[in-house]
Structure 1
Amino acid sequence: MSRDVDPWLLLPDPVRRLPADLVFIICFVIATCVVVLVPGLNDTPIRAVLGLPFVLFPPGYAFIAALFPEAGGFEESDRQGDASETDGRFSRFNEGIDGLERVALSFGTSIAIVPLIGLVLNFTPWGIRLVPVLLSISGFTLLMTVIAAVRRWNLPEDERFSVPYKQWSGDARSELFEPDTRADAALNVVLVVSVVLASASVGYAVLVPNQGESFSEFYLLTENDDGELVADGYPTNFTQGERKPVIVGIENHEHERTNYSAVVLLQNVTTRNNSTVVNDEQQLQRFQTTLGQNETWRTTHNITATMTGTRLRLIYLLYKGDVPRNPTADNAYRELHLWVNVTANGSSPAQVTAAPTR
């Protein structure tokens, strides 16, 4: 005859012995990490719903739980001892803190701990960015949770802190809505306003981190003898009809999806009074691509030089959006150029062409 086995009993003993409040903190941290890191979920309102409480309460609660594993306040006991007697029962004072103090300190220490973690990250290679901040806060909270659990296990069962949910609710209602004096009422108002303002400022700073400067990278590369792409060794001397490759790259760091257009021009220019005058110009090629944030696009141009001359300017102009009717280095978003020399080889007409290989 088979018996049903309780799945809870299959878990390791330390897991089954974890206090309910610490289990909640662990689950909340894991849920927040999943929502923030999993594509699709991180674009939903769930991210803000979990993210704001995540930075305001769990770090401080876990820290306070590690510092004060014992129950706080006065506790009644039926045991005879050295405590004072009241109606046949006895009371003794623990060194811990009561529920409302624990909650208030959890908010306060969270507001102090999170900026300190950010300050430390600022001096690391990772910097103050979403993922490093999330993982650092999560690691700190989980470490404090483990310490808190171990410290509670080392106490006698009747001295361990446990969450008195109903008592907390009643005490909070009494403290906030039934103050003993006007001074207490004023302090309650100040406390609520302070928590709201601190919640809004800290939550905004962490959940909406500074994106930094918006820019696009536009560059030319060549392939060296080892097959590596380097920003060096550009072809500058051609024999008429000779083909040489140049790799053009675009990287999007605009924090949004961006449409790019590029145009390649061959120009015969002269320099006068520190200014460049275009004497003749040919449009050789246009490219278009659309890139998301942090995406990269590259294409290889096999430049075939069929125009002879010295110091011919091969210029690459990048635009966000469409290429204007009269593209110039002045109206381009980014500009790259090479100075090329082409020696004659026969009597072919002078021209340079660039064809992309995808």
Structure 2
Amino acid sequence: MVAFRSLWLLLPRPVRRLPADLAAVLVLVVATNVAALAPVLRETPLRVPLGLAFVLFVPGYAFIAALFPEAGASPAVDGEASSDEPETGWGTSLTARDGIDGLERVALSFGLSIAIVPLIGLVLNFTPWGIRLVPILLAVSAFTLIATTVAAERRRALPPDERFRVPYRAWIAAGRAEMLEPDTRADAALNVVLALSVVLAVGSVGYAVMVPPDGEQFSAIYLLTEDDDGELVADGYPAEFVRGESKDVIVGIDNHEGERTAYTVVVLEQDVEVVRNETASSGNTTVTETIVRDQRELDRLQTTVAANESWHHDYTLTPTMVGQNQRIVFLLFPGSNVPTEPSMADTEYSVHLWVNVSESSGGNTGLAPRYAPARASS
């Protein structure tokens, strides 16, 4: 207890003076940012409940707290106030309702959060940052912290007996009395059953989150380019090169393996020939076969991608083989088992480009370029 009090005193005085509900909002914002961005924690299920509360409740609650700093009264039946309710702000029985009561705050918090977060995303969509995890996280956090600051200042400006408060001490005392000092044995038995039901429900939800049902596990590799507006698109791939010339593509990896996975991308340059397969061809059906006449390894890329995350890498492609219909292959190998001389038969994940490479800018053979759009197999 002494150590906790010492740590508490280390906090800035404005933070220590925050009301309990606003301090909880601040703690949730910090905890969500840590769970979403910390290298180890972001791979755990902890960020699921924190993220849901952060998106669906916290921004709206902070905004409502800024709008209504004063205590509110619950609606009384027939306009009469009950004298048994404490004037705490959560269920106070003032006849004049200057503020809103606790249930109204909760309902409005959910509704406003559902409205505020999409609006923030809409604004970010027209900025260079776009709708991504970090910009959304920082924008919602900034909005919530600003609203919390305004709420705290507006509450301090009110007389103490008019400020909204969450009567958590009364709730704790009532719960303790109900659980430890039941009136009858039947109440005690019901309390035990209720406690066991809550533990069972929490355990079931926790197990469902921690151990999700097994689904299809796979990885994917793909190529993208950047258009004139700076957007990533699966189009406009480079097809014409001069020997020694470099052009940029973006290599993408999606990890759906269910766990953090290390990847190796092997970039191959192949001189291929497409020939007719006489054995498989029959009648009007022609079956072709691609034969690799020569192959060179251009590069190897290594990275680690978290579960259900994507990785994009700007790659500078520089072919070295001269000729028409050269094939540039990107092979994806999950894990560390990468063959010394890999080929497309060694992995189920690959993507390729068809390019023409001339000796010089005027040395093109004049043949029509053969180009197949990039495709990923999974």
Shorter-chain TM range is 0.5 to 0.7
**Partner AA of 1:215 in structure 2:** Y
Q: What CA distance in whole angstroms lies between the structure 1 residues aligned with 2:52 and 2:44?
A: 14
Deviation at 1:6, TM superposition (A): 5.5
Partner of 1:216: 223
Residue 29 of structure 1 corresponds to 29
Q: Which amino acid aligns with 1:71?
A: A
Which residue matches 1:199? none
Shift of 1:12: 4.0
Say if 1:61 and 1:94 are closer, same or farther in 2 by CA, change over 3 A: same
How far is 1:319 from its partner? 3.7
1:99-118 equivalent positions in 2, closer than 5 A: 99-118=102-121
Instruction: Tell me if 1:136 matches 2:143.
Output: no
User: What is aligned with 2:160?
Assistant: 157
Contact 2:249 2:317 in 1 (8 A): no
Structure 1 partner of 2:343: 323
Identity of aligned residues (%): 43
* CA deviation profile, 1:185-211 (whole Å, cap 9, x unmatched): xxxxxxxxxxxxxxxxxxxxxxxxxxx
What is the CA-CA distance between 1:160 and the residue it aligns to?
Answer: 0.5
CA distance in structure 1 between the aligned counterparts of 2:74 and 2:113, rounded to whole angstroms: 27
Deviation at 1:111, TM superposition (A): 1.3
Letter in 2 for 1:252: V
TM-fit CA distance, 1:118: 1.4
- Cα deviation per residue 1:94-139 (whole Å; 9 max; x = unaligned)? 4011111111111111111111111222222222211111111111
- 1:72 and 1:18, CA in 2 relative to 1: closer, same or farther beyond 3 A? same
Task: Kindly indicate which of the two structures has a greater share of residues assigned to strand.
Answer: 1
Q: Specify the structure having the higher radius of gyration (Cα).
A: 1
CA root-mean-square deviation: 4.4
Match of 1:255 in 2: 254
The question of 1:335 aligning with 2:359 is answered: no
- The answer on whether the counterparts of 1:216 and 1:252 sit within 8 Å (CA) in structure 2 is yes
CA contact (8 A) 1:218 1:318 kept: no
Match of 1:264 among 269, 294, 299: 269
Using the TM superposition, name which of 57-66 and 110-119 deviates more: 110-119
The answer on whether the counterparts of 1:118 and 1:128 sit within 8 Å (CA) in structure 2 is yes
Instruction: Measure, in 1, the Cα distance between the counterparts of 2:13 and 2:101.
Output: 28
TM-score for the superposition, normalised by structure 1: 0.56
2:324 aligns with 313
The number of residue pairs the alignment matches comes to 248
Q: Shift in Å at residue 316 of structure 1? A: 4.3
TM-score (structure 2 length as normaliser) = 0.54
Structure 2's unaligned 5+ residue stretches are 76-80, 85-92, 175-219, 227-237, 256-261, 275-290, 304-310, 333-341, 362-378
**1:206: which partner in 2?**
none
Deviation at 1:294, TM superposition (A): 2.4
CA contact (8 A) 2:327 2:352 kept: no
Q: Which letter does structure 1 place at the counterpart of 2:161?
A: D
Secondary structure of 2:312 counterpart: coil
- Mapped contact 1:264–1:314 kept (Cα < 8 A): no
1:230-279 deviation line (CA, Å, top 9, x unaligned): x9x9655xxxxxxxx4558764312236554444345899xxxxxxxxxx
Residues 341 and 36 from structure 1, CA distance in 2 versus in 1: closer, same or farther, beyond 3 angstroms? closer
Which residue identity is paired with 1:116?
L
Residue 336 (structure 2) aligns with: none
Question: Is the 8 Å Cα contact of residues 252 and 291 (structure 1) preserved in structure 2?
Answer: no
1:208 alignment partner in structure 2: none
Q: Compared with structure 1, are the counterparts of its residues 105 and 299 closer, same or farther at alpha carbon in structure 2 (3 Å cutoff)?
A: closer
1:19 alignment counterpart: 19
C-alpha separation in 2, matches of 1:37 and 1:21: 24
Please list every run of 5 or more consecutive structure 1 residues that lacks an aligned counterpart in the other structure: 76-83, 171-212, 220-230, 237-244, 270-279, 306-311, 326-330, 343-358
In the other structure, the counterpart of 1:224 is none
Q: Secondary structure at the match of 1:144?
A: helix
On the 8 A contact 1:260/1:318 being kept in 2, the answer is: no
CA-CA distance at 1:145 after TM superposition: 0.2
